[in-house]
Amino acid sequence: MSFTIAPTESFDVIVVGGGHAGCEAAITAARLGLNTALFSLNLDRIAWQPCNPAVGGPAKSQLVHEVDALGGVIGRLADATAIQKRILNASRGPAVWALRAQTDKRLYSRQMLQLLQHTPNLALREAMVTGLETTGEGDQQRINGIRTYFGSVYGAEAVILTAGTFLGGRIWVGHQSMAAGRAGEQAAEGLTEALQQLGFQTDRLKTGTPARVDRRSIALDQLEEQPSDAADRFFSFDPAAWVSGEQMSCHITRTTAATHQLIRDNLHLTAIYGGVIDSKGPRYCPSIEDKIVRFADKDSHQIFLEPEGRDTPELYIQGFSTGLPERLQLELLRTLPGLEQCVMLRPAYNVEYDCLPATQLLPSL
């Protein structure tokens, strides 16, 4: 191998990004006996579940079961940290049943970090990866390491990129934006350009996350309670991993005519409908604005209030992600029954990020 500067360390495999995919990739490589390193922008936010601390659901529950069958860890950790479990589509045939678990966000992250720290052959490093070291030209070009923002080089026989929303990430609240992978954390910069220099095509995707509110400010007694109904169902196939902790209830409210009118009056203030960004959003996870526009015939939409954990008052407002300015978000939340006096702890935001269209992959991946 030839490097512009001598590598600080060398590994068989380097994994970039510490979300679900990165953790699974790092643990798998290490268990295969490969000297592996997981690089993350912030080791205190490993497996942080920034959008929603839930695992499973339609299609995704089957994926979690499959990952568990292959020796992965997401199913085990979801079972161990679940605070509510439900079977979705239970009124239909068993082919479409889907297990969904609301997990304790902080506990899940802590347990994943502990697992990573105690996995043989696996090292954790905190750094922003901004470049790729290669040898050869054209079809003979091979990866042989990474570069970090502060100039260190690390050698590797293989590099796995799982940067997620951090890859060139930018968050939007209304028309205001800043570079970030998620609220309060820096974006991964430079890696997109490094991939483009190697000939890869990139695109932009968008997703969003709703506001968090203080459960103590909500009239939960006025709302429909949704208790756990599947505490005895598990993602993992290993009976030794079948542990159920204390379960918590979610609650259900609905949008109102006031909700819909406020959104219609201010659509132009969102980044998407205001024409500021045109990135592709997730097909099956629309913002509340998309619901109002696409389903104009509906006068109400169901909204779920989901706890983020046992030791936090934060509730996640499932189904209510929005791109409206922060100054309007509290007013919007207070149009929901039971939330008339709610306190908003964290505003909703959209996040736009770079991706590599999968059509560039060879059949060998």
Q: Are 266 and 125 part of one and the same domain?
A: no
Q: Are 218 and 288 part of one and the same domain?
A: yes
Domain boundary among 142, 162, 182: 162
CB-neighbour burial class of residue 275 (10 A; exposed 0-12, middle 13-18, buried 19+): exposed
At residue 283, the pLDDT reads 67
pLDDT tens digit string along 158-182? 999 999 999 999 999 999 999 999 9
pLDDT tens digit string along 259-273? 999 999 999 999 888
Q: Are 120 and 256 part of one and the same domain?
A: no
Give 278's pLDDT tier (boundaries 50, 70, 90): confident
Q: Are 278 and 149 part of one and the same domain?
A: no
Taking alpha carbons only, the member of 330, 305, 302, 303 closest to residue 315 is: 305
- Residue 294 is assigned to a structural domain of this protein: yes
CA distance 189 to 167: 7
Residues pairing with 87 in the sheet: 99
Domain boundary among 94, 129, 162: 162
Q: Are 158 and 286 part of one and the same domain?
A: no
- Residue 358 is assigned to a structural domain of this protein: no
Identify the domain containing residue 264 by its residue range. Answer: 212-352
- Residue 345 is assigned to a structural domain of this protein: yes
pLDDT tens digit string along 214-257? 999 999 999 999 999 998 999 999 999 898 888 999 999 999 99
Taking alpha carbons only, the member of 313, 346, 327, 22 closest to residue 184 is: 346
Q: What is the CATH number of the domain that holds 138?
A: 3.50.50.60
Give 1's pLDDT tier (boundaries 50, 70, 90): low
The verdict on pTM exceeding 0.95 is no
Q: Are 304 and 243 part of one and the same domain?
A: yes
Number of domains in the chain: 2
pLDDT tens digit string along 307-346? 999 999 999 999 999 999 999 999 999 999 999 999 999 9
- Residue 178 is assigned to a structural domain of this protein: no
Half-sphere exposure of 235 (CA within 13 A, CB side): 34
61 with 236: CB under 8 angstroms?
Answer: no
Q: Are 236 and 128 part of one and the same domain?
A: no
Q: Are 219 and 127 part of one and the same domain?
A: no
pLDDT tens digit string along 176-214? 999 999 988 999 999 999 999 999 999 999 998 999 999
CA distance 276 to 274: 6
**Distance (Å) of CA 120 to CA 17, 33, 154, 157:** 19, 8, 19, 19
- Residue 260 is assigned to a structural domain of this protein: yes
Residues pairing with 315 in the sheet: 213, 307
pLDDT tens digit string along 35-72? 999 999 999 999 998 888 899 998 899 999 999 999 99
- Residue 292 is assigned to a structural domain of this protein: yes
Q: 36-40 and 122-126: which strand pairing?
A: parallel
